[in-house]
């Protein structure tokens, strides 16, 4: 297994750990769910995006470019002369353009819930995807990594 694939798998593992911790904290009900989302959401998402970046490098057999770990196909270093990107990169490009991967890669800001007005128990809802969505993205990435990893092993 390439070092980039190992790093991608490790980032997925870290994301799983954070999701499990988030679920445990939700079950304890000591901290409001919106506050937990503020604490965990971006950290989980960052691990998933990093996993994707490392896997892009594994698929393209590239090195980390000077600008840092790629987050999208367009950020991959160019292929050496005489080589083309593998077909898996085209599938990733399609998912980045429209699909679950596009949603994962969109920048998300998690705002503080609004302050309540006197006599009103409602507060602003959190505008970021919830834990279930992050789990779904993790499972989607894991499935792609397994399927495409098997194809890589055949090369």
Per-residue pLDDT tens digits for 87-130: 999 999 999 999 899 999 997 776 665 554 455 444 444 556 78
Q: In the chain, which residue ranges form alpha helices assigned H by DSSP?
A: 3-28, 33-60, 87-97, 100-105, 131-154
In a domain, 101, yes or no: yes
Decide: 38 and 110 in contact? Cβ < 8 Å.
Answer: yes
What pLDDT is stored for residue 120 in this prediction?
45
pTM, two decimals, is 0.86
In a domain, 77, yes or no: yes
In a domain, 90, yes or no: yes
What pLDDT is stored for residue 2 in this prediction?
85
In a domain, 48, yes or no: yes
Identify the band that residue 33 occupies on the pLDDT scale cut at 50, 70 and 90. very high
Counted domains in the chain = 1
Q: 98: domain range?
A: 3-110+127-154
């Amino acid at each position: 297994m390439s070092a980039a694939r190992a790093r991608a798998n490790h980032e997925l593992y870290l994301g799983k750990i954070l999701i499990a911790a988030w679920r445990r904290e939700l079950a304890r009900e000591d901290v409001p769910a919106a506050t937990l989302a503020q604490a965990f959401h971006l950290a989980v998402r960052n691990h998933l995006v990093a996993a994707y970046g490392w896997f892009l490098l594994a698929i393209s057999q590239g090195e980390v470019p000077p600008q840092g770990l790629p987050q999208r196909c367009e950020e991959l270093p160019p292929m050496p002369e005489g080589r083309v990107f593998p077909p898996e990169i085209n599938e990733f490009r399609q998912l980045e353009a429209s699909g679950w991967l596009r949603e994962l890669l969109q920048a998300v800001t998690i705002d503080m819930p609004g302050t309540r007005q006197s006599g009103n128990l409602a507060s602003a809802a959190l505008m970021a995807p919830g834990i279930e969505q992050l789990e779904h993205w993790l499972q989607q990435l894991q499935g792609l990594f397994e399927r495409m990893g098997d194809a890589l092993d055949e090369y």
